Structure 1
Amino acid sequence: MKNHPKFPSLKGHRFPRSVVSYSVWAYFRFNMSLRDVEDLLAERGVAVSYETIRSWVAKFGQQYARSIRRDRPIPNDKWHLDEVVIVIKGQLWRAIDANGDILDILVQSCRNTRAAIRFMRKLVKQYGEPRVLITDELGSHGAAKRQLIPGVEHRQHKGLNNKAEVSHRQTRRREKIFGRFKSPRQAQMFLAAHDQIACLFRPRRHTLSSNSYRQARSDAHSLWCEYSDELTA
């Protein structure tokens, strides 16, 4: 495993590392509310309030996501970019590679060229330039691409971008559970962690044999245990 910045400290928490890591995993892995996770722990004899779980999710979720992103193999050089409206009157910009792995997300207030440039610049800074960029027919994508990465091949057609559009489904499901996202900041913090953690534990089961899926699931849990060991007492 690569070197990572240390996780926030567990000092001052009365519950052990195993309970904290399990709570964060359950909240992001399944379509569960904080109160659902509270009930799940109660059935296992752990009495903890949903507000405590909320603080764990906020404190440790982002670091788990960063660790997953940094240990992930180099992404495919074909990127799919798409944007979707969320209920807080914002736009969720999401990028995935050709393998379906989520590269990054960014919540913004609009879908104009300035917003597209901000998101695309963030991606290029983190991963370098792609070989192929696939988007829908929104003009902002093309304008941003011409300014930032003019030499990259751009395929702009709604029918080619199904991978990115499908990736929004989990966001819609969580949005229903929340009722709606409460603010752009809350949406950004939750989805930045959720997308990475959910992607790790959902290895496109329909493309794998039973044995391959079980191995991928075992590998994901092993990685999670390694990241949890980074929690300092």
Structure 2
Amino acid sequence: MRYPLSLRFGPMFAAEIRKRRVAHVRGYPQWRWHLDEVFVKVNGKLCYLWRAVDHEGEIPEAVVTAGRDKAAALTLLKRIMKRYGQPRKIVTDGLRAYSAAMKEIGAADRHEVGGRLNNRAENSHRPFRRRERAMQRFRRMKTLQKFSSVHAQVHNYFNQERHLVTRQVYKQRRTAALAEWRALAG
């Protein structure tokens, strides 16, 4: 089965897209991150996809683990803080692994827990789930990690927040993103 051109070139250029995004994000202070985990079946076994979503709805990092504990939360936090720096606030759901991990890295004062505060992270799982269904699930954790990282970067690149801008501005941004994507792939 042959995949469309954009799916074959996506993994090749995701690293370049990520480098540009990291350089851009480092220039601005991070206001708030939303952390959440989602259950994903890999070859019949439950795995956990831990994701961080920034205040703009973009997904800077995704980590796949076999466990749902403090060590997994620490893995996500250390990875994202190493790459993007420290945020002002970190919003999570009620999972106690987050609180334990925050205490260990010394960010307990920045931690917010609330019922509906983490909706941005919960809604970020929807595009991933749609794509997961289209792919008919995953067979290995390594494949899931690679796919989730690439999918997040490409989705961030083309997600233009249509509800916040006029139609004309939206079309200009989409055209610019597509032109840059073609330049990367060409």
**TM-score, with length taken from structure 1:** 0.71
- Give 1:105's aligned residue: 62
Separation in 1 of the partners of 2:172 and 2:106? 38
- Give 2:16's aligned residue: 67
Quote how far apart the aligned CAs of 1:149 are: 3.5
- Give 1:41's aligned residue: none
What CA deviation, in whole Å up to 9, does each residue of 1:141-161 have, x standing for no partner? Answer: 111111114265111113100
Q: 1:143 pairs with 95, 100, 125, which one?
A: 100
Q: Map 1:42-191; keep pairs closer than 5 Å.
A: 57=8, 60-72=9-21, 73-74=24-25, 76-88=30-42, 89-150=46-107, 152-191=109-148
- Superposed structure 1 runs of 4+ greater than 4 Å apart: none
- Give 1:17's aligned residue: none
What CA deviation, in whole Å up to 9, does each residue of 1:161-197 have, x standing for no partner? Answer: 0000000001211221222111111111111111111
- Structure-2 change in CA distance of 1:87 and 1:156 (3 Å): same
Separation in 1 of the partners of 2:85 and 2:66? 25
* Corresponding residue pairs, total: 176
Identity %: 34
Q: Does structure 1 retain, via aligned residues, the 8 Å contact 2:93–2:115?
A: yes
In structure 1, runs of 5+ residues without a counterpart are: 1-19, 28-56
- Structure-2 change in CA distance of 1:178 and 1:62 (3 Å): closer
What CA deviation, in whole Å up to 9, does each residue of 1:107-164 have, x standing for no partner? Answer: 1111100010011100011011111000001011111111114265111113100000
In structure 2, runs of 5+ residues without a counterpart are: none
Q: Does structure 1 retain, via aligned residues, the 8 Å contact 2:36–2:93?
A: yes
Q: Secondary structure at the match of 2:60?
A: strand
Q: Does structure 2 retain, via aligned residues, the 8 Å contact 1:79–1:98?
A: yes
CA RMSD of aligned residues (A): 1.8
Q: Map 1:185-224; keep pairs closer than 5 Å.
A: 185-224=142-181
Quote how far apart the aligned CAs of 1:219 are: 1.6
- Structure-2 change in CA distance of 1:200 and 1:127 (3 Å): same
Give the letter aligned to residue 134 of structure 1.
Answer: V
Q: Does structure 2 retain, via aligned residues, the 8 Å contact 1:64–1:197?
A: no
Structure in which a larger fraction of residues adopt strand: 2
Question: Residue 23 in 1 paired to residue 12 in 2?
Answer: no
Q: Does structure 2 retain, via aligned residues, the 8 Å contact 1:82–1:165?
A: yes
Q: Secondary structure at the match of 1:118?
A: helix
Q: Does structure 1 retain, via aligned residues, the 8 Å contact 2:99–2:108?
A: no
Give the letter aligned to residue 23 of structure 1.
Answer: L
